[in-house]
Amino acid sequence: MSEEKVVGIVLVSHSAEVAASVAELAKGLAGGTTSVPVSPAGGRPGGGLGTSAELVSAAAASVDRGAGVAVLTDLGSAVLTVKALLAEGDELPGNTRLVDAPFVEGAVAAVVTAATGADLDAVEAAAVEAYGYRKT
């Protein structure tokens, strides 16, 4: 699969368990796809709550297949961590994008859309569209 260009997805949460669970949920709801590389980047390297630039950078490198990397975050400092990495310019793969989308619904939409072979713009659009999902 590493020869095929596909958008990779990184899920950044303050909790390793939350990031891993959302990754599992998104892949499962996308039909158990293994074609989309999804990596959770949650918590601190030694455990505990927080965000880690090192974990985000490693996760992004692990999912980069040449079609871009979509990064979704849960809360404020996770956003700040990703923005700082993007500003540094050399910490994340080229064509990495912070996606302003709801964490769970956006992750599912991103993975499902990436599984169709869509480009980074389409993956981002699908994730952002999740803000409009109605529950009533």
Q: Which of 94, 93, 67, 92 is nearest to 82 (CA)?
A: 92
CA dist 15 and 48 (Å) reads: 7
Structure tokens at 56: 């985000």
Cα angle 105-4-86, degrees, rounded to a multiple of 5 = 55
The rounded mean pLDDT for the chain is 94
3-class secondary-structure state, position 41: strand
In this prediction, residue 2 has a pLDDT band, given cuts at 50, 70 and 90, of very low
CB 53: neighbour CB atoms within 10 A? 16
How far does CA 117 lie from the centroid of its chain?
A: 16
Q: What percent of the chain has pLDDT over 70?
A: 98
Angle between the N-to-C axes of helices 103-115 and 120-129, in degrees from 0 to 180, rounded to the nearest 10: 140
Per-residue pLDDT at 86:
97
Q: Residue 14: CB partners within 8 Å, gap ≥ 6?
A: 42, 43, 49, 50, 51, 74, 75, 77, 78
Per-residue pLDDT at 3:
57
Residue 71 near residue 56 (C-beta atoms within 8 A): yes
In this prediction, residue 103 has a pLDDT band, given cuts at 50, 70 and 90, of very high
pLDDT per residue as tens digits for the range 3-55 = 589 999 999 999 999 999 999 999 999 888 788 999 999 999 999 999 999 99
Q: Where do we find the tokens 């996770």?
A: 78
